[in-house]
Homo-oligomer: A and B are copies of this chain.
Amino acid sequence: MGTTQLESVPEPKYWHLKTVLGEALDTDFSVGEILPNERELAARFGVARATLRQALEQLELEGRLQRRRGVGTTVAPPRVGVDVSTTQAQWPGSGEEAWNPVDCTLVVPPAAVARLLDPDRGADEPVHTVRRLRMTHGQAVAAEQLYVPARSVPDLTAIDAPSGAARARGVLRELQRLTLEGQDRAVELGSARADDAKELDRLPGAPVLLVTTRYLTDGRTAAVSVATYRADTCRLTFGDAGDFGIAS
Task: Give the interface of A toward B (CB within 8 A).
Answer: 11, 15, 18, 58, 61-63, 79, 81, 86, 112-113, 115-116, 182-191, 194, 204-205, 207-210, 212, 214, 216, 226, 231-232, 234-242, 244-248
Contact = CB atoms under 8 A, between A and B. Distances in A.
A207 B182 contact: no
Given A184-B237, A188-B234, 5 more contacts: A186-B236, A188-B245, A190-B248, A208-B248, A210-B246
A183 B241 CA distance: 8
16 contacts: A61-B191, A79-B188, A81-B186, A112-B246, A116-B244, A116-B246, A183-B240, A184-B239, A184-B242, A187-B235, A187-B237, A188-B235, A188-B246, A188-B248, A189-B231, A191-B248
A189 B210 contact: no
Contact of A186 (B61, B184, B207, B245): B245
A18 B190 CA distance: 13
Nearest 3 A-B pairs (CB), nearest first?
Answer: A190-B248, A189-B231, A188-B235
Contacts of A112: 246-247
A80 to B, nearest CB: 11
A11 B209 CA distance: 23
Given A58-B191, A191-B58, A210-B246, A238 B185 contact: yes
Contacts of A238: 86, 184-187, 238
Contacts of A240: 182-184
Contacts of A113: 246
A239 B183 contact: yes
A215 B161 CA distance: 49
A226 B212 contact: no
A235 B234 CA distance: 18
A68 to B, nearest CB: 17
A248 B232 CA distance: 17
Contacts of A246: 112-113, 116, 186, 188, 210, 212, 226
A147 to B, nearest CB: 11
Contacts of A204: 11, 15
Contacts of A210: 246, 248
